[in-house]
């Protein structure tokens, strides 16, 4: 059975000590997860310490961004090898805040994706439309453009190492969550893009996460939505309690499915 994912994107929150305290607290609650992979994506400054703590656990470490070059004169940037030296296994790429606040282009995101794969990091590639794009009926074409530019030229093996996160920009940090229908429709579209570039088997295997105002009180309904294989969680991952409740919703849902 496919493993689902609960990934915490802390964004620019938590200093080193706060990150350590959270991690020590969280790992007490997530010892025996049977069906859910938990990934913590702290800020760069906390990666190494958290990586050391997570080594003894089944929780994975991810970064929130990286540069595409191996090394060089890129002041303020972090390379894939640097991430790997902190025991990082995943990296979020193309988050809407990177696209919209820091003007990352589809071609830059593609280069980052290729580097991550080459270096053995698993990308969590984010796609999602703005409110204006949705209201003007362009959701599918925006997703298609972002998908196509990001995954162009990948082999089946490389694609198999990718995770996709659908994060509608209008749902991020707003408290406005996508309805099951809206999320399911977008996820189905993304899965059919994978099927037409590769094949149906791979399309069904790849985990497509939903992100945008996921909270304990909506996680149960969202996780039961067709084609949602887990969550990328911002605000509700900053405290252990709501994050654990969301993880438990996923586990409970999958347990019921198995019966």
Q: Is 129 helix (H, G, I), strand (E, B) or coil?
A: coil
CB of 201 to ligand 13P, least distance (A): 28
Tell me if 212 contacts ligand 13P by CB under 6 A. Answer: yes
Residue with tokens 């659908």: 166
- Closest CA relative to residue 171, chosen from 225, 130, 127: 130
Report yes or no: 203 and 194 within 8 Å, Cβ to Cβ.
yes
Show the DSSP H helices in the chain as ranges: 16-29, 44-54, 80-84, 96-100, 106-118, 131-135, 139-151, 156-160, 180-197, 200-205, 216-223, 240-258
Of 120 and 173, CB closest to ligand 13P: 173
Active-site residue (options: 95, 110, 129, 251): 95
Tell me if 194 contacts ligand 13P by CB under 6 A. Answer: no
Longest dimension (CA), the chain: 55
Of 180 and 197, CB closest to ligand 13P: 180
Tell me if 62 contacts ligand 13P by CB under 6 A. Answer: no
Tell me if 211 contacts ligand 13P by CB under 6 A. Answer: yes
Tell me if 9 contacts ligand 13P by CB under 6 A. Answer: yes
CB of 242 to ligand 13P, least distance (A): 10
Residue with tokens 């090394």: 71
CB of 178 to ligand 13P, least distance (A): 11
Instruction: For residue 177, give the DSSP letter.
Output: P
Tell me if 234 contacts ligand 13P by CB under 6 A. Answer: yes
Q: Is 205 a catalytic residue?
A: no
Residue 164 backbone phi and psi in degrees, to 5: -115, 140
Among 83, 93, 164, 172, binds ligand 13P (CB under 6 A): 172
Q: Between residue 78 and residue 137, which ones bind ligand 13P under the rule CB under 6 A? A: 95
Q: Which residues bind ligand 13P (CB under 6 A)?
A: 9, 95, 167, 172-173, 211-214, 232-236
Catalytic residues: 95, 167
């Amino acid at each position: 059975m496919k493993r689902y994912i609960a990934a915490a994107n802390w964004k620019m929150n938590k200093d080193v000590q706060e990150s350590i305290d959270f991690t020590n607290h969280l790992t007490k609650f997530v010892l025996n997860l049977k069906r859910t992979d938990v990934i913590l994506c702290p800020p760069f400054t906390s990666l190494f310490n958290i990586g050391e703590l997570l080594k003894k656990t089944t929780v994975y470490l991810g970064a929130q961004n990286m540069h595409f070059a191996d090394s060089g004169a890129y002041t303020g940037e972090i390379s894939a090898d640097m991430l790997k030296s902190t025991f990082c296994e995943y990296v979020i790429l193309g988050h809407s805040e990177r696209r919209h606040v820091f003007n990352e282009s589809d071609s830059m995101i593609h280069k980052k994706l290729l580097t991550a794969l080459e270096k053995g990091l698993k990308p969590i590639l984010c796609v999602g439309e703005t409110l204006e794009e949705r209201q003007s009926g362009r959701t599918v074409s925006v997703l298609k453009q972002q998908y196509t530019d990001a995954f162009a030229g990948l082999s089946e093996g490389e694609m198999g190492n990718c995770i996709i996160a659908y994060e509608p920009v209008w749902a991020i940090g707003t408290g406005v969550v996508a309805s099951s229908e809206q999320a399911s429709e977008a996820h189905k579209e993304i899965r059919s893009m994978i099927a037409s570039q590769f094949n149906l088997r791979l399309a069904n295997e790849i985990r497509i996460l939903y992100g945008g105002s996921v909270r304990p009180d909506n996680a149960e309904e969202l996780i039961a939505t067709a084609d949602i294989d887990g969550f990328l969680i911002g605000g509700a991952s900053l405290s252990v309690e709501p994050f654990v409740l969301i993880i438990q919703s996923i586990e409970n849902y999958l347990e019921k499915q198995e019966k």
